[in-house]
Amino acid sequence: MLEDFLQDDLSLFALPLYLAAVLVEAWHAHRHQSGRYRLGDTLASFSMLAASAIVELLPRLLALAAFVYLHEVSPLRDVIGRQWWAWLLLFVLDDFSYYWFHRANHEVRLLWAGHVNHHSSQYLNFGTALRQGVGERVHKFLFWMWLPLLGFDPAMIVTVISLNLFYQFWIHTRAVGKLHPWIEAVFNTPSHHRVHHGSNVRYLDRNHGGVLIIWDRLFGTFADERDDEPVVYGLTTNINSDNPWTVLSHEYRAIWRDLRRANHWGDRLRILFLAPGWSADGPDKRASVLRAQAGMH
């Protein structure tokens, strides 16, 4: 089962393609002097890719063991096989799981600390796609534990997770404008994902979907890219550093400082579990509060 688990992880085979795409895009950006790449920033992204792969090793093995056990005890294991409709259903349920995993990473500060390094680049390019969240690897697979209980086998789950991530790599680009309205209505597109990487108040914590954008439309987290408000990439307060340790740990260290400064356990719990921007002794800078203050919905 472990061998099947690794063989069905398509990301292992896609990595050379990703690296080639980064090189071609960076060459094109240099040739046209577009300013869409910077060497130090790209090297920091590669370091986060390596760190995330290392951190994920143990959680991934534990997740495999849990997937196998939960599939074995599922009453649906003999109903759900590898029929075409099972693959299609799993694709939708996987994307639903990814939406809530991704949204939680933006709306719970402790989880945000493990995801923020993906947003710390002030560029959007294929290199940014490889700047994976490191700390989020610890809790990631918890959001998929319900799928083997529905009868889907672990190899299927890993395959679909990998396909979802493969798709997401290609939407980290500024080279593609808006697509046909029907595509924009259903799928996560480069335009929608540019919004997700924006630090503009209007765009904060929006468009969390993986392949599909329908979840954001259904659950009120959708924002359209506007011609009158160009996306500003990065964080609301940028770290301005390519140091891998700074990129990886800066939000954890900020949380620790806030916890030490807090006087009450209630405030400490709010620091950990409310959205980023909440403060016990300063203005509330959560995205929802900032939008309300600006008269945005």
pLDDT for position 9: 57
pLDDT tens digit string along 134-159? 999 999 999 999 999 999 999 999 99
Give the Å distances, CA to CA, from 37 to 24, 34, 116, 142, 168: 11, 8, 20, 34, 19
pLDDT tens digit string along 238-254? 999 999 999 999 999 99
Distance CA 207, CA 217 (A): 9
Q: How many CA atoms lie less than 13 Å away from 165 in the CB half-sphere? A: 20
Using CB atoms within 10 A of its CB, is residue 87 exposed (0-12), middle (13-18) or buried (19+)? middle
pLDDT for position 254: 97
Distance CA 17, CA 15 (A): 5
> In the 3-class helix/strand/coil scheme, how is 18-83 assigned residue by residue?
HHHHHHHHHHHHHHCCCCCCCHHHHHHHHHHHHHHHHHHHHHHHHHHHHHHHHHHHCCCCCCCCCC
Q: CA angle at residue 127 from 126 to 132, to 5 degrees?
A: 105
pLDDT for position 13: 80
pLDDT for position 11: 67
Distance CA 135, CA 248 (A): 8
pLDDT for position 8: 47
Look up residue 38 and give its two tokens: 């910077």
pLDDT for position 1: 46
Distance CA 51, CA 56 (A): 9
Model-level pTM?
Answer: 0.94
Handedness of CA 92, 205, 193, 54 (dihedral sign): negative
SS3 206: coil
Phi and psi torsions of 46, nearest 5°: -65, -35
Q: Which residues of the chain have pLDDT under 50?
A: 1-8
pLDDT for position 296: 84
Domain definitions of the chain by residue range: 2-219
Angle of the 154-169 helix axis to the 39-73 helix axis, nearest 10: 160
